[in-house]
Amino acid sequence: MEFVRRQCLGIQTVRHPARLVVLASGGGRTLENLQTRILNGQLAAEITLVVVSRSDLGAAQRARRLQLPMLVIGPRNYPDGARRNDLLIGAILEARPDWVILAGWLQLLPIPPELEGRVLNIHPALLPAYGGKGFWGHHVHQAVIADAVPVTGCTVHFATSEYDQGPVVLQTAVQVCAGDTAESVAAKVFAAEVEAYPEALQLLMAGSLVWQQNQVYWGSSEPL
């Protein structure tokens, strides 16, 4: 595994290229964004495995087109939840990731100690607003429009055993204008996500931001 532990601080610095495992349950736009940046030399990483929850998803089609290693592990082909989780965690660990990237993954991932502090998620709102179970995708943007809030955005955060409760790595705000719809807000937020996820990864790979005892620190000084 391409990282070294700094034992005195209990944190990690990842050597390049970082190994990524991407989990996706949707169209796969985030997966393709990351792979495009890797191929363009903008992100010093490699995607060693893609896991999708169904074989007919857009994410699966993109993974095939991008010629990325892929597994299908979801409720349809593995209806027993315990068996499914065992297979999923086993596949992730076998791929020896430095970071696990949740890219529209809709199932709560059971995070074993070996992966604690190395699983990232991006949420289409400024957490803690519009977070938690049931708040995903268009449900978030519909709630934003219904509440007529002036600002929304996206949040990159560490995943934990609860939906959208992990410490924040990075947030980007976007303006909600008069006349916006859930669809137009979704487009603005995704445009922010395209930049925010790679930026957060860069900061973590460089050691500028670190996880320590369920908090995010800038360098090794104070929690954010």
Helix axes 29-39, 58-65, angle to 10 degrees: 20
The closest of 214, 104, 106 to 168, measured between CA atoms, is 214
How far is residue 93's CA from residue 108's CA, in Å, rounded to a whole number? 17
Q: State the pairing for strand pair 11-14/99-103.
A: unpaired
Considering the candidates 16, 123, 138, 157, report the single residue annotated as catalytic: 123
List Cα–Cα distances, 209 to 146, 169, 171, 206, 223, in angstroms.
35, 8, 13, 8, 10
How far is residue 37's CA from residue 26's CA, in Å, rounded to a whole number? 20
Q: Which residues pair with 223 in a beta bridge?
A: 217
> ∠ CA(207), CA(30), CA(67), 5° rounding?
100
Q: Let me know if 123 is a catalytic residue.
A: yes
Buried b (16+ CB within 10 A) or exposed e, 58-79: bbbebbeebebebbbbbeeebe
Active site residues: 123
